[in-house]
């Protein structure tokens, strides 16, 4: 009886605590109010637990009930010699420990459950603290009958659950030496040993000792021998009366234990005769279902009606299947009491056959409503926890734990000072008034101030100087006064007046009422880092200035070279229109080809500059793949035919007709690759093969293979480097800057692909290009582009040419000769504005770089004039995209880069005149 009571009470209380420990593991930052509410529910019903406490980091901070136990708050198990070992055993082993009896801080003695609590899983699993519950020894002993009423003298051994080898903690020491009856008490973790003897000890030796011994020997023989046989042959029934009585006694003891266990566990038991469907309930079943015992058990439809409607069909089917199949039954369901209360019931049942051959079903029911509620709370807590950002949560926990540790360690600052004294960072301790209490050696090394110089002064009085940011100091002091952490970089001054930069962390230590007790300042000398930052900033500024200088130089070079190039190419084009003798026509063609070669070099240099600066734009639009490739290939067919080369283009099956991407850049790359193939091939053929990746028809693969001079393996490794050709002899023999392949490779990478080469010296080369495009966005439009081969005839109009270069003005006059155009010329932007007021031209050809007033300024002034606004076309040698954007933002309508061809100029003017002739809203003017 005593063994069953102790085991039932202790193990039942342990199960209650496990649920609370699970809640804390999922909600480690639980507040006192919530903890008290959950703990109060744990203490409901029959329990020997009187107090429950949670100790994060082994320091008690959560407690229920609070009244009368205030002295336990702040108890540090690390410092309490009586409880330190058990607490550390829980932490290190990860298992529950039942310690005691121990002296309690609030008085008296008791047993203490200690359950370890861990948060996280896997590699993130870490020790949070322990959950402790106090069981007063008097309450436990009285409730289980240990301290009287049984007619026995009782002794308990195994303090802290250490079993028979442990210390005795209850009863007289003499009981253990008086041949007591010994039994093990099984605890949730460990055991106790219970020793019992008749109250007052065993009887004294009687006079007829030999007769009594003989009788005891005979009785022992009658008992021990059948017992021995029963142990050896447990399956055979013995007819000996001695064994039957022993068996009956054992069965009675087992029955009594079972009865105690059932009462303790609050499990209801029922039986059903399968033949006549008679049902019997014990008192606990009546209590669970709210049915008085005098009404008998609920059977059949009455029991079925008590089930929750949502569970009724499922449970009835499962029970019927178990009865018909003579199998086990297990289910969990809800019942509705007459007062509307809902209970969650867990049910188990098994079939068995009695000695008479009758079929029975025996089962148990127990109320798991609290388990369900706790499980639902755990699920909700887990859902809430999973929604949080784990990194922020961990950071918050680390900060809160560090802050809490600082509060708890106020009494041990002298120990911390020993560690801080040898730290490499400066550490300053100040009081609430910001007066220095202590500094370490690193502070002296960094500032030159000894401890005697610093103590009693504020850090500002000691370290601030003319360059110190007063705003930072005010904000730092505000955080100190509020007890809030602060971090910033501060400029201070050493004892010798030298500047020193500190990375400063301020950590206020507050008391329980929130007031600041102590302020810890940790400073790291970052003077060298700040110096490096300044040097990097200066280097960055110099690089940006160099980049601007480079851009300005390229822009000026572009303008200065394109301006005369415009005259050279334009005049050469005009000469080709004249009827010249063959020799002179050959001279003109030489001038044109040389000028075009020079222009290509300029364009390559500008393209490379834009690519390096990240200002090279990729303009995606729908285009026809075959038209783009054909236009690039056809440029070189005359040259290939002139050299006797066969130029072939083949297309793989499955290629899309239209794609979405930058066809201009694709054409630019192809012109470079095919142009190189034609240039470096003296005989044979050039093959252009167009295909796509196996799994993506818009991943374009183009191979340009030639039978030319080829390149070596070493030369192939550098072929895409800027200003690089195969060797010096190649440069002399074929010319070129070595930028074409560099620009092509960079463009391919910008378009999501790349270029590779396979070649063998003397055997030709194969350049493979992969580019990523997208499906076309719109249906194809049947629009025929205007042909530049024919020169259009302009309608009558007034044109104002704003150009400071006399050669370019002459070229435009010749371009417009024969057209019904009234052309007026202005040598600078100011003259153009003045002429615009009087002439009111239809079109203005505006140069950007002019004396007195440039084209941008002139355009803005013209747009502000209260006149009929003309169409303004930028005609400039500034070829950067930024220049074009600046022109459009200033109010220009179109942009033509020098050198400009006659056909392009006339087609552009024709289109603009056609647009102005169409009805449209007038341009806004000032």
CA atoms within 13 A on the CB side of 850: 31
What is the CA angle 315-316-320, rounded to 5?
Answer: 115
- Inform me whether the pLDDT recorded for 391 exceeds 90: no
How many Å apart are CA 231 and CA 236, to the nearest integer? 10
pLDDT at 244 over 80: no
The string of DSSP letters for 169-236 reads EES-HHHHTS--EEEEEE-SSSEEEEEEEETT-SPPPPS-HHHHHHHHHHHHHHHHHHHHHHHH-TTS
Question: Please, what sign has the CA dihedral across residues 655, 659, 662, 664?
Answer: positive
User: Looking at residue 120, what is its pLDDT?
Assistant: 79
Q: Which of the four pLDDT bands, split at 50, 70 and 90, describes residue 729?
A: very low
Highest mean pLDDT among 128-142, 410-424, 544-558, 727-741: 128-142
Confidence class of residue 849 from pLDDT cuts 50, 70 and 90?
Answer: confident
Query: What is the arrangement of strands in the sheet containing 97-103, beginning at the earlier edge strand?
Result: 62-64, 49-56, 126-136, 109-119, 97-103
pLDDT of residue 870: 93
Q: What was the pLDDT predicted at 801?
A: 93
pLDDT at 808: 85
Contacts of 165 (CB under 8 A, 6+ apart): 158
Pick the range with the lowest mean pLDDT from 15-24, 150-159, 202-211.
202-211
Residue 83 has what pLDDT?
A: 72
CB 154 within 8 A of CB 194: yes
Q: Which of 250-259, 601-610, 761-770, 896-905 has the highest mean pLDDT?
A: 761-770
Q: What is the mean pLDDT of residues 759-774?
A: 89
Confidence of residue 794 (pLDDT cuts 50, 70, 90): confident
pLDDT for 841: 93
Position with higher pLDDT, 730 vs 55: 55
pLDDT band, very low/low/confident/very high, at 210 (cuts 50, 70, 90) = low
Q: State yes or no: cis peptide before 382, omega within 30 of 0.
A: no
SS3 content of the chain, % helix, strand, coil (to 5): 45, 25, 30
Determine the pLDDT at residue 731. Answer: 44
Residues 6+ apart with CB under 8 A from 674: 632, 633, 635, 636, 647, 686, 688, 704
Q: For residue 70, with 0-12 CB atoms within 10 Å meaning exposed, 13-18 middle and 19 or more buried, which class applies?
A: exposed
Among candidates 336, 323, 314, which has minimal Cα distance to 272?
323
Least-confidence region, from 417-426, 591-600, 748-757, 820-829: 591-600
β strands within 250-317, DSSP E: 267-273, 279-281
Question: pLDDT tens digit string along 368-390?
Answer: 888 888 888 888 888 888 787 77
Q: What is the mean pLDDT of residues 127-133?
A: 89
Q: Which helix (H) or strand (E) holds 111?
A: strand 109-119
**pLDDT reported for residue 785:** 47
Tell me: pLDDT of 922 over 50: no
Q: Is 7 exposed, middle or buried (0-12, 13-18, 19+ CB in 10 A)?
A: buried
Confidence of residue 914 (pLDDT cuts 50, 70, 90): confident
191 φ, ψ to 5°? -145, 160
pLDDT of 563 higher than 70:
no
> Please, which pLDDT band fits residue 30 given cuts at 50, 70 and 90?
confident
pLDDT digit string, tens, across residues 447-456 = 999 989 989 9
Q: What is the pLDDT of residue 921?
A: 46
Q: What is the pLDDT of residue 422?
A: 73
| Pairing state between β 49-56 and 62-64 | antiparallel
Percent of the chain at pLDDT > 70 equals 80
Task: Kindly tell me if the per-residue pLDDT of 871 is higher than 80.
Answer: yes
pLDDT of residue 229: 47
Summarize the confidence of residues 333-359 as an average pLDDT.
86
pLDDT at 149: 65
User: What's the full length of the chain, in residues?
Assistant: 926
Predicted structure pTM score: 0.35
| pLDDT confidence tier of residue 180, bands split at 50, 70 and 90 | confident
Query: Comparing 609-613, 617-621, 667-671, which segment has the lowest mean pLDDT?
Result: 609-613
Peptide bond into 899 cis (omega under 30): yes
Statement: residue 478 has pLDDT above 60: yes
Name 739's Cβ contacts closer than 8 Å, sequence gap at least 6.
601, 604, 605, 607, 608, 722, 723
pLDDT at 722: 58
Ramachandran angles phi, psi of 336, nearest 5° = -110, 115
Residue 924 pLDDT level (bands cut at 50, 70, 90) = very low
pLDDT at 201: 74
- Spell out where 511-568 has E strands: 516-525
Lowest mean pLDDT among 218-232, 486-500, 558-572: 218-232
Q: Which of 5, 13, 19, 12 is nearest to 50 (CA)?
A: 13
CB atoms within 10 A of CB 312: 15
| Cβ-contact 48, 143 below 8 angstroms | yes
* Least reliable range by pLDDT among 133-137, 220-224, 586-590, 694-698: 220-224
Tokens at residue 301, please?
């439809």
DSSP for residue 272: E
Q: Does the pLDDT at position 908 exceed 60?
A: yes
231: pLDDT strictly greater than 50: no
Q: Is the pLDDT of residue 744 over 60?
A: yes
Pairing verdict, β 797-802 and 821-826: parallel
139-168: per-residue pLDDT in tens? 888 777 777 666 778 888 988 778 888 888
User: How much is the mean pLDDT over the chain?
Assistant: 80
> Is the Cβ–Cβ distance between 883 and 855 less than 8 Å?
no
Q: Return the number of other C-beta atoms located less than 10 Å from residue 20's C-beta.
A: 22
Over residues 52-75, mean pLDDT:
87
For 899, half-sphere exposure in the C-beta direction (CA atoms, 13 angstrom radius) is 26
Contact status, residue 38 vs residue 20, Cβ threshold 8 Å: yes
Q: What is the pLDDT of residue 857?
A: 93
């Amino acid at each position: 009886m005593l063994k069953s009571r102790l085991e039932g009470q202790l193990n039942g209380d342990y199960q209650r605590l496990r649920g609370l420990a699970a809640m804390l593991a999922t909600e480690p930052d639980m507040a006192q109010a919530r903890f008290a509410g959950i703990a109060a529910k744990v203490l409901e019903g029959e329990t020997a637990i009187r107090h429950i406490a949670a100790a994060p980091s082994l320091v008690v901070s959560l407690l229920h009930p609070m009244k009368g136990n205030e002295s336990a708050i702040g108890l540090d198990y690390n410092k309490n010699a009586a409880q330190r070992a058990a607490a550390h055993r829980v932490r290190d082993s990860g298992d529950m420990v039942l310690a005691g009896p121990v002296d309690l801080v609030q008085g008296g003695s008791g047993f203490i459950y200690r359950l370890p609590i861990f948060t996280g899983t896997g590699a993130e699993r870490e020790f949070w603290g322990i959950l402790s519950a106090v069981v007063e020894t008097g309450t436990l002993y009285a409730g289980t009958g240990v301290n009287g009423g049984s007619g026995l003298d009782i002794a308990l051994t195994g303090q802290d659950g250490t079993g028979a080898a442990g210390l005795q903690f209850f009863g007289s020491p003499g009981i253990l030496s008086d041949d007591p009856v010994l039994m093990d008490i099984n605890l949730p973790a460990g055991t106790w040993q219970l020793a019992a003897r008749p109250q007052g000890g065993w009887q004294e030796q009687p006079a007829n000792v030999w007769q009594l011994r003989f009788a005891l020997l005979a009785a022992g023989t009658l008992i021990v021998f059948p017992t021995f046989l029963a142990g050896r042959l447990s399956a055979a029934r013995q007819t000996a009366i001695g064994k039957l009585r022993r068996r009956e006694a054992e069965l009675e003891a087992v029955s009594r234990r079972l009865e105690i266990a059932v009462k303790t566990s609050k499990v209801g038991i029922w039986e059903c005769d399968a033949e006549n469907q008679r049902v019997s309930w014990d008192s606990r079943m009546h209590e669970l279902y709210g049915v008085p015992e005098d009404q008998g058990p609920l059977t059949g439809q009455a029991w079925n009606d008590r089930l929750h409607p949502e569970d009724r069909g499922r449970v009835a089917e499962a029970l019927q299947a178990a009865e018909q199949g003579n199998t086990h039954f297990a289910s969990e369901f809800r019942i509705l009491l007459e007062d509307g209360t809902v209970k969650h019931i867990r049910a188990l049942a098994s079939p068995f056959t009695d000695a008479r051959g009758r079929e029975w079903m025996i089962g148990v029911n127990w109320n798991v409503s609290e388990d369900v509620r706790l499980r639902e709370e755990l699920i909700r807590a887990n859902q809430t926890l999973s929604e949080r950002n784990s990194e922020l949560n961990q950071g918050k926990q680390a900060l809160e734990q560090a802050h809490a540790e600082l509060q708890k360690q106020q009494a041990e600052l002298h120990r911390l000072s020993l560690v801080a004294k040898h730290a490499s960072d400066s550490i300053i301790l100040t009081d609430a008034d910001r007066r220095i209490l202590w500094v370490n050696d690193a502070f002296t090394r960094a500032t030159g101030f000894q401890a005697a110089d610093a103590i009693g002064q504020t850090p500002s009085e000691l370290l601030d100087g003319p360059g110190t940011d007063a705003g930072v100091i005010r904000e730092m002091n505000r955080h100190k006064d509020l007890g809030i952490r602060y971090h910033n970089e501060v400029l201070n001054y050493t004892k010798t007046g030298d500047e020193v930069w500190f990375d400063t962390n301020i950590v206020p230590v507050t008391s329980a009422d929130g007031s600041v007790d102590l302020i810890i300042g940790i400073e790291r000398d970052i003077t060298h880092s700040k110096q490096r930052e300044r040097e990097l900033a200066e280097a960055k500024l110099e690089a940006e200035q160099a980049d601007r200088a480079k851009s300005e130089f390229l822009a000026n070079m572009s303008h200065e070279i394109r301006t005369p190039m415009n005259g050279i190419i334009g005049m050469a084009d005009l000469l080709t229109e004249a009827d010249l003798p063959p020799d002179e026509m050959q001279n003109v063609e030489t001038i044109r080809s040389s000028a075009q070669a020079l222009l290509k070099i300029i364009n390559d240099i500008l393209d490379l500059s834009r690519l390096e600066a990240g200002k090279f734009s990729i303009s995606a639009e729908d285009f026809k793949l075959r038209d783009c490739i054909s236009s690039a290939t056809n440029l070189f067919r005359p040259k290939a035919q002139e050299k006797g080369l066969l130029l072939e283009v083949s297309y793989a099956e499955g290629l899309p007709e239209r794609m979405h991407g930058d066809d201009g850049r694709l054409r630019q790359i192809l012109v470079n690759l095919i142009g190189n193939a034609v240039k470096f091939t003296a005989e044979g053929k050039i093959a252009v093969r167009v295909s796509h990746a196996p799994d993506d028809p818009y991943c374009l693969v183009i191979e340009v293979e030639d039978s030319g001079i080829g390149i070596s393996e070493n030369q192939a490794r550098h072929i895409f480097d800027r200003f690089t050709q195969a060797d010096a002899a190649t440069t002399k023999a074929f010319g070129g800057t070595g930028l074409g392949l560099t620009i092509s490779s960079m463009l391919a990478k910008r378009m999501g692909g790349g270029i590779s080469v396979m070649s063998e010296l003397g055997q030709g080369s194969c350049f493979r290009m992969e580019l990523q495009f997208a499906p076309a966005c719109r249906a194809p439009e049947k629009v025929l582009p205007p042909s530049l081969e024919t020169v259009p005839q302009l309608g009558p109009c007034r044109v104002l040419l704003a150009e400071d270069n006399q050669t370019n003005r002459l070229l435009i006059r010749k371009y417009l000769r024969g057209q019904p155009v009234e052309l007026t010329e202005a040598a600078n932007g100011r003259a153009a504005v003045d002429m615009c007021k009087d002439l009111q031209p239809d079109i203005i050809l505006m140069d950007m770089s002019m004396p007195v007033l440039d084209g941008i300024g002139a355009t803005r002034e013209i747009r502000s004039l209260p006149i009929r606004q003309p169409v303004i076309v930028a005609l400039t040698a500034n070829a950067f995209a930024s220049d074009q954007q600046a022109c459009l933002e200033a109010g220009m309508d179109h942009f033509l880069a020098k050198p400009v061809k006659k056909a392009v100029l006339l087609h552009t003017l024709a289109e603009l005149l056609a647009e102005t002739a169409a009805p449209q809203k007038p341009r806004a003017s000032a």
